[in-house]
Structure 1
Amino acid sequence: MRALIIEQDMWIGLMIEAVLRDLGYTHFDFAASSEAAVAYAKARCPDLITSDVRLDSGTGVEAVQAICSTRLVPVVFVTATPWEVREADARAVVVAKPFGEESLAAGVARATVAREA
């Protein structure tokens, strides 16, 4: 399974990758800007997206909206600013930073179930 990790801080992206690996994801793409995220999603068709809100260029919310306008993908926002996500989409799955392995795994499970429903 392939995951797209939209995160400007590489060490946080690597922490997310480690949790996702334990959940069975095997291929990863990393994007630090909304433009790069949209390009990776178009080229690689991820099975899951994790996204921060604040990026080097653009926002994770913008990137996810662009990606999911053409293809529905389970999304977990991993952010220190959860209220910004809630303002854009009250139904979004949000895991607050700092996060633990269990909270991220639970967020992935919620996003995946919500996508399948």
Structure 2
Amino acid sequence: MRVLIIEDDMILALSLEIMLKKMGYSEIRKAHTGEKALETIVDFEPDLMLVDIFLGTGISGIDVVKKVQERKKVDVIYITGNSDEYHRKQAGETDYLSYLVKPITYTELKKVLEKDNAQ
């Protein structure tokens, strides 16, 4: 399974990558902006995206997901500091597996991924 981490905080992106590798995922790429994520998706074609909503300047993580899901089904887990109703409603306009609020733990992420793999 190919996983794309879309996260502007490089330390958190690395932490997520380490968690995924510990779970056995090996095909992992990272993008630190929405624009870079869209470029990466063209060649990498992820099966799963871990997406931060606010990526600094440029397009948001939700916008990236909307653009990708126009063309193909990709599983999405939002991992964000934005727990307010406005962002949850925006995320609700996309198809996603889970909406996790930072900080997240290895156990939380593993539980969501195991639930998805069981379906």
Percent identity, please: 26
Q: What are the superposed Cα offsets for residues 61-111 of structure 1, whole Å, 9 maximum, x if unpaired?
A: 001111111111111000011334421217631111011101111223345
Distance 2:102 2:15 in 1: 12
Instruction: Give the count of matched residue pairs.
Output: 114
In structure 2, which of residues 61, 86, 89 is the aligned counterpart of residue 87 of structure 1?
89
Give RMSD over aligned pairs.
Answer: 1.9
Structure 1, 21-30 or 92-101: larger mean CA deviation: 21-30
Aligned counterpart, 1:59:
60
Distance 2:45 2:115 in 1: 20
Q: CA 1:79–1:9 in 2, change beyond 3 Å: closer, same or farther?
A: same
Unaligned runs of 5+ in 1: none
2:108 paired with 1:106: no
Distance 1:58 1:110 in 2: 30
Aligned counterpart, 1:96:
101
Contact 1:76/1:108 (8 A) holds in 2: no
Q: TM-score, normalised by structure 2?
A: 0.84
Q: What are the superposed Cα offsets for residues 10-64 of structure 1, whole Å, 9 maximum, x if unpaired?
A: 1100111111112221122111111111111121111210000110321100011
Aligned counterpart, 2:20:
20
Aligned counterpart, 1:35:
35
Unaligned runs of 5+ in 2: none
Distance 1:27 1:44 in 2: 9
Q: TM-score, normalised by structure 1?
A: 0.85
Contact 1:42/1:67 (8 A) holds in 2: no
